[in-house]
A = this chain, B = another copy of it.
Amino acid sequence: MYSLAVSGHMMIAHSFVGEIFGPAQQLHGATYAVEIEMRRVELDGNGLVCDIGLAKALLDEVLGAFDYRNLDDVAAFRGRNTTTEFLAGEIFRRLKTRIATGALGPETAGALASLRVQLRESPIAWAAFEDRLA
């Protein structure tokens, strides 16, 4: 299995609902260093998992919907705790939809076997979500 990974980051505010979150119930924020890994069994005719330029542009497009935002104000997240693991899943779902509609090129849409999205929230913690694409 081959992998290609690219990374970016976003800086957001949010707060959590539930006593389990302790001080994180207060409005606070995070820099998320985000890495996405695309996997496929065989390389394409150019020797690539996918066009790295398209992958970086797609990641930045998806992160751009959250960057410099207060996630408590994002309609799609109403009633949800935007935990790091939830955001990893949400970014996965948005990438999956865009890949299916050709954001990484028509050949790549059907060729990627799986995708992993990792968000580092601090020097001591990160979360991730991964699943099959095909």
Count copies of this chain in the complex. 6
Which residues of the other chain, B, contact A52 by a CB distance below 8 angstroms?
125
Knowing A21-B46, A86-B43 touch, does A31 contact B122 (C-beta < 8 A)? yes
A125 close to B5 (CB less than 8 A): yes
- CB of A97 closer than 8 Å to a CB of B: no
Which residues of the other chain, B, contact A70 by a CB distance below 8 angstroms?
13, 26-29
A20 close to B46 (CB less than 8 A): yes
The 22 listed contacts between A and B (C-beta, < 8 Å) are: A1-B129, A2-B127, A4-B127, A5-B127, A5-B128, A9-B123, A9-B124, A11-B29, A11-B122, A12-B29, A13-B13, A13-B14, A13-B27, A13-B29, A20-B48, A26-B70, A28-B70, A29-B29, A43-B85, A47-B81, A48-B85, A49-B127
Proximity bits, A90-134, B CB within 8 Å = 1, else 0? 000000000000000000000000000010011111111111000
Name A residues whose Cβ lies closer than 8 Å to a Cβ of B.
1-9, 11-14, 16, 18, 20-24, 26-33, 43, 46-49, 51-53, 56, 67-70, 80-86, 88-89, 118, 121-131
A3 close to B48 (CB less than 8 A): no
**Closest beta carbon of chain B to A83's beta carbon, Å:** 4
A9 close to B122 (CB less than 8 A): yes
A49–B83 Cα gap in the complex (Å)? 10
